[in-house]
Amino acid sequence: MARKNAVYAQSGGVTSVINASAYGVIMAAREASFIDEVYGGYDGINGVLTEKLIDLGQEPPEAIEALRHTPAGALGSARRKLQDLEKNRAEFQRIIEVLAAHDVGYFFYNGGNDSMDTTAKLSRFAAENDYPLQVIGIPKTIDNDLPITDNSPGFGSVAKYNAVSILEGSLDTESMHRDSTKVFVLETMGRNAGWIAASTGLAQRSERDGPHLILLPEVPFDKEKFLAAVQELVSRLGYCAVAVSEGTKDGEGKFLSEVGGQDAFGHTQLGGAGQFIQDLVNSELKLEHPSSTFPTF
């Protein structure tokens, strides 16, 4: 097998462990008998399009070693989603030209669902144009919603963060409920998958610890059942802690809250499900609640 060079790039929202994945790819590529040089794409796919490739072989060994414990994205990231091949062949052609100029036969893209979409498109384009390129997707998403993966790097750190956050909020509410706050609401990320919201359940050591209620995108929100559950918990325990995923929908499939517009990937911009729940509790049950939701990623 002829030796070829490799390119690794990071994409989407970075996590506290994405650089650990970078370290793994770089070290494995260096050990591979069929890979020569390893380059890093600066700012994700943008670095490939603009030919801003970093020769990682020139980086000090201690810098590469430090990636295992370094947060954020060392190579920079991008939220650029490539359009369909039929609409934007020129961009894919540019990528192939850059890769060919550097004798690249292996492309590793580290990201979530939209990044994996990019790898699929690039792989298809390379095959259609007879360019020998192996395109490998490296999973990364705090939502833990990549198909065919069991546990995506990034999910563990955000699961711990949210579990600790709701436990702290629950304990604070328990301390205050006799005089003021009786309901605490934590909004988490999760457009279509409720893994993050569900992970808050890791914090519950007894029935007195939150979360007492978890609202997921996969389960249609039932207003009456929810209010009845909150009322029962407040009557029995004196307070209630609720975890709500940003993607929670009503019975008709409509998001509880949309801030309007779209994000960089063309998805409906979400935000405010927690505020919706707080306002609902306040207006229907007349209970004290925090002035705003606890911020998450």
Distances (CA, A) of 126 to 39, 81, 88, 105: 19, 17, 14, 10
Query: Is residue 147 a part of any domain in this protein?
Result: no
Query: Is residue 176 a part of any domain in this protein?
Result: yes
Domain of residue 55, residue span? 4-139
Which of 115, 139, 163 delimits the end of a domain?
139
Domain count, the chain: 2
Query: Is residue 149 a part of any domain in this protein?
Result: no
For 228-254, write each residue's pLDDT tens digit.
Answer: 999 999 999 999 999 999 999 998 888
- From the list 225, 223, 267, 224, the residue with the least C-alpha distance to 247 is 267
Residue 267 pLDDT? 55
Query: Is residue 225 a part of any domain in this protein?
Result: yes
Together in a domain, 127 and 249: no
Together in a domain, 132 and 203: no
What CATH number is given to the structural domain containing 239?
A: 3.40.50.460
Exposure letters 226-254 (e unless 16+ CB within 10 A, then b): beeebeebbeebebbbbbbbbbbbeeeee
One-letter amino acid at 253 equals G
Burial of 275 (0-12, 13-18, 19+ CB in 10 A): middle
Residue 268 pLDDT? 56
One-letter amino acid at 105 equals G
Task: Give the residue numbers marked as catalytic.
Answer: 143
For 193-232, write each residue's pLDDT tens digit.
Answer: 999 999 999 999 998 999 999 999 999 999 999 999 999 9
Count CB-CB contacts under 10 A for residue 274: 27
Statement: residue 179 has pLDDT above 90: no
Statement: residue 183 has pLDDT above 50: yes
Q: What is the mean pLDDT of the chain?
A: 89
Residue 295 pLDDT? 43
Residue 110 pLDDT? 95
Query: Is residue 291 a part of any domain in this protein?
Result: no
Distances (CA, A) of 77 to 39, 101, 135, 237: 15, 23, 18, 46
Query: What is the rounded distance in angstroms from the CA atom of residue 119 to the CA atom of residue 102?
Result: 19
Together in a domain, 122 and 172: no
Query: What is the rounded distance in angstroms from the CA atom of residue 70 to the CA atom of residue 106?
Result: 25
Which of 107, 139, 171 delimits the end of a domain?
139
